[in-house]
Amino acid sequence: MDTTILRNRFREQFGHTGDLFFSPGRINLIGEHTDYNGGFVFPGAIDKGIAAEICINASRKVRLLAIDLKSDNYVEYDIDENEKPTQHWACYIFGVCKEMQKRGVTLGGFNSAFSGDIPLGAGMSSSAALECVFAFALNTIFADGRVDMFELAKIGQAAEHNYCGVKCGIMDQFASIFGKQGCLIRLDCRSLEYEYFPFNPQEYSLVLIDSCVKHSLGTEYNERRESCERAVALANRKFQNVETLRDIDYAMLDAVKSGLSDTDYRRSRYVLDEKERVMAVSDALNRGDYETVGKKMYETHWGLSRDYTVSCEEVDFLVGIAEECGVTGSRIMGGGFGGCTINLVRKTLYDKFTSKAVREYSKKFGITPKVYPVVIGDGTRKLQ
């Protein structure tokens, strides 16, 4: 990412320079809505993200400039303030500061400006990138890197829970921090054990098609989580050691079915299905069997659309076009309610598919979808 404008604006605003940090967005091959259910996910960091320049300012003031925003882009508050800022974007950073302070990190005032190239609300985790770039930067400048990387990811997640109203899982922050060039990460969200999977198929590419339906995760996302929690609570009364849907099999779910609404049952069953698909995909990747990977991606999509109900007409249409074109795999990515599809496509079909998707989608919805070839990049880091 080119940081020239960021550096110039920082200098104009504050009259000095600071240190530069970068945190990426993420893709997720498979394992959707499994993270907060104690399951597995398969994300990777991308080459797009958020860069922040930051410098300690020897006062108690936090000064923040969001240089991509046209208005309401400057915020100043006291590091000891407990009332969160009115600007939503600033709450992510405010939340990260508070969560670090809760963990005993001594923070002072700082000046910062940031900028990014991840499309917002497209399911590529711009919010996790924002949280993680600040968690990492503050850890570097105020704590000599003493907070470990797992904790930084958890700080980002806690900021989102407690200051931004989204009860997200750990996947996005983990992928942003631990990303590695050319590798996907199979992460066990219960134990946080993870394994890098080099992902460089000769004959296939990953490409995102952005429906441009903007999502902002909130109530509807939290409701999905609550559905799962209700199933867990019921199963927990009947069986031992049930903490998340990870601990439940189909027979156990059926044993509590009568106590669940149809919606909660279907959502929970989707999570059990997805658990199996992630394992099937990791076996398939080990064999280099991308056709199976793709088949599972379609199954995930229709599960998310019909059972978990987090898709929308526009995204279903894009997946439909992928199916028609013979694309190997396609599905909605991230929290849902809009955003991108992730597509595993044979290189020989790439141009035909992407141009058809753009053409047909524009014709139907009057919006030109964006096409983002996936480049799997490194995780959060200091630049220069």
Give how far Cα 372 sits from Cα of 47, 375, 384, Å: 11, 9, 26
Q: Decide: is 307 part of the binding site for ligand GLA (CB under 6 A).
A: no
Please tell me whether residue 229 binds ligand GLA under the rule CB under 6 A: no
Q: How far apart are CA 194 and CA 42, in angstroms?
A: 10
274 counts as binding ligand GLA under rule CB under 6 A? no
Question: Does residue number 35 form part of the binding site for ligand GLA (CB under 6 A)?
Answer: yes
The Cα 326–Cα 298 span in angstroms is 12
- 169, 179, 294, 369: which one binds ligand GLA (CB under 6 A): 169
Compute how many other C-beta atoms are within 10 angstroms of the C-beta atom of residue 341: 29
Q: By CB under 6 A, which span of 12-20, 33-41, 258-266, 347-355 interacts with ligand GLA?
A: 33-41
Q: What CA–CA distance (Å, rounded) separates 332 from 51?
A: 27
Residues in 332-351 at the binding interface with ligand GLA, rule: CB under 6 A: 334-335
Taking the least distance from each CB to ligand GLA, the nearer of 40 and 94 is: 40
Distance CA 292, CA 297 (A): 9
Of residues 196 through 215, those in contact with ligand GLA by CB under 6 A are: none
Is residue 172 part of the contact set for ligand GLA (CB under 6 A)?
yes
Work out how close the CB of 123 gets to ligand GLA at its nearest, in angstroms, rounded to a whole number. Answer: 7
Catalytic residue among 35, 172, 307, 316: 172
Query: How far apart are alpha carbons 141 and 334 in whole angstroms?
Result: 31
Q: Which is nearer to ligand GLA, 329 or 334 (CB)?
A: 334
Instruction: Verify whether residue 307 is a known catalytic residue.
Output: no
Q: In angstroms, what is the minimal distance from the CB of 338 to ligand GLA?
A: 12
With contacts defined by CB under 6 A, name the span among 169-177, 241-249, 319-327, 348-356 that binds ligand GLA: 169-177
Cβ 96 to ligand GLA shortest distance, Å: 15
* Structure tokens, 107: 């923070």
From the list 167-175, 266-274, 313-321, 364-372, the region that binds ligand GLA by CB under 6 A is: 167-175
Of 168, 183, 185, 209, the one binding ligand GLA by CB under 6 A: 168
Long-range contacts of 288-294 (CB under 8 A, 24+ apart): 288/201, 290/201, 290/203, 290/204, 290/328, 290/329, 290/344, 291/328, 293/29, 293/30, 293/328, 293/329, 293/344, 294/327, 294/328, 294/329, 294/330, 294/344
Are the beta carbons of 124 and 48 closer than 8 angstroms?
Answer: yes
Active-site residues, by number, are: 172
Residues that bind ligand GLA (CB under 6 A): 32-33, 35-36, 125, 168-169, 171-172, 334-335
